[in-house]
Amino acid sequence: MQSVRLFHHFCQHTAYHMSSNPPTTDLWRKRVPDVACSHEFLMHGLLACSALHYARTHPAQGQEFTLVSTHYQTLALQFFSNRLSDMNEDNVEAYFLLATFIFVLAIATISDPLARQNKSAEPKDLAQSFVLLQGVKGILDAKAAEKLGQHDGPLAAMLHGTDDLRRPRPSHVSSFTRRLDRLLGLARELESSMFLDIVNNPQTACILALESLRHTYYGCIDANNSASPMAAAGAAATSSLGSGMPGPLEDPRSPADSASNRAAYRSMQDAEQGQRYTWLWPLTLTQVFMQLVDSGNYMALIIVAHYAAMARPYEGPSWVTKGWAQSVLAIVENHLHPDKHKWIAWPKRSILEEIHVDDMPEET
């Protein structure tokens, strides 16, 4: 009966929070449940997502339904890992929808306020969420996206790859880029083992993560500065997940906008434009870097905290992403040696005081 209850909750409630666009909402409310009824692995993903949403909307039962969500998520991931080679034209739609659910779960599991309150999340959970995001890339299919009309929104950048991050962009010197320069200096202090090749070296992994973060930041800035009001509205209208956010509220900021206008990032179009690039960063991480995060390496955790500060303005009010940056900060702060806390004072202030990284003072 619990599964029936969760299925009903998804159709009547969760589906309406998967997109702010009515046609896309109908997709989640009607088409997705229909497909799930024919594919058990997708049903597991649907129930996992529904249970997690139920936990968020019913705090008194939050712990119980978070565990239920974990159960169904495990079943979905087991199928995914064992049957990925079975994907074909007949089931590609179901696999694509499963990828979307995994994307939601990877983000929402970290942003969970209950885990943040109980301090139960650990660096290994954060590393696992990055692994899941990389796994999503493996089952995204552009043809399925076109079939579903899901060629934009948070998953769009994953569909088109990370090459866009490497294209030349105008140089943008800011408080954040100067902060990254300081972190590069700290990363170079890491011991470089002579027994490891350059690819598997922790120092190299951290430097690559920082440079990728710089390009991700440039992508977010460029997306918001170059998007016209019409383009932004179009991106919002075709969002795959949406954000559960209201419609476009204001024009995207121009490059010359003052600090007071950076609050515009909270609008739907700005959040979605930035999200396209924000979630690309985990896709660029090396296995070595994710292992460093998993083990609680101080340099990796410091880098992740700065990523969270950069990503915070793009969260929007969606139940999936809201509070993600604060949760990441809590994980880092709870597992970073006190001697290194001075290195996260900067992103901590940015996140907690909701100061855009471009408006942060040079030193904190």
Q: Tell me which of 29-33, 189-193, 210-214, 344-348 is least confident.
A: 189-193
Q: How far apart are CA 205 and CA 201, in angstroms?
A: 6
Q: How far apart are CA 364 and CA 355, in angstroms?
A: 12
Band of pLDDT at residue 103, cut at 50, 70 and 90: confident
Band of pLDDT at residue 157, cut at 50, 70 and 90: low
Q: Is residue 163 in a domain?
A: no
| Mean predicted lDDT score pLDDT of the chain | 79
Backbone angles phi, psi at 239, to 5 degrees: -60, 135
The reported pTM is 0.80
Three-state DSSP class for residue 155: coil
What percentage of the chain exceeds 70 in pLDDT? 73
- Give the contacts of 176 (CB within 8 A, at least 6 positions apart): 217, 310, 357, 358, 360
Q: Is residue 162 in a domain?
A: no
In this model, does residue 196 exceed pLDDT 70? no
117 and 230 part of one domain: no
Structural domain count, the chain: 2
Q: Which residues, in sequence order, are bridge partners of residue 152?
A: 239
Band of pLDDT at residue 153, cut at 50, 70 and 90: very low
Q: Which residue, among 98, 162, 90, 83, has the nearest Cα to 136 in the 3D structure? A: 98
Distances (CA, A) of 119 to 16, 55, 64, 181: 30, 17, 17, 31
Q: Is residue 158 in a domain?
A: no
Owning domain of residue 47? 2-151
Q: Tell me which of 100-109, 155-164, 320-329 is least confident.
A: 155-164
Residue with tokens 């290195």: 343
**Number of residues in the chain:** 364
216 and 144 part of one domain: no
**Once rounded to an integer, what is the mean pLDDT over residues 219-240?**
46
- Report the alpha-carbon angle 88-90-91, nearest 5: 70
Band of pLDDT at residue 270, cut at 50, 70 and 90: low
62 and 178 part of one domain: no
Q: What is the pLDDT of residues 115-125, one digit of tens each?
A: 888 888 899 99
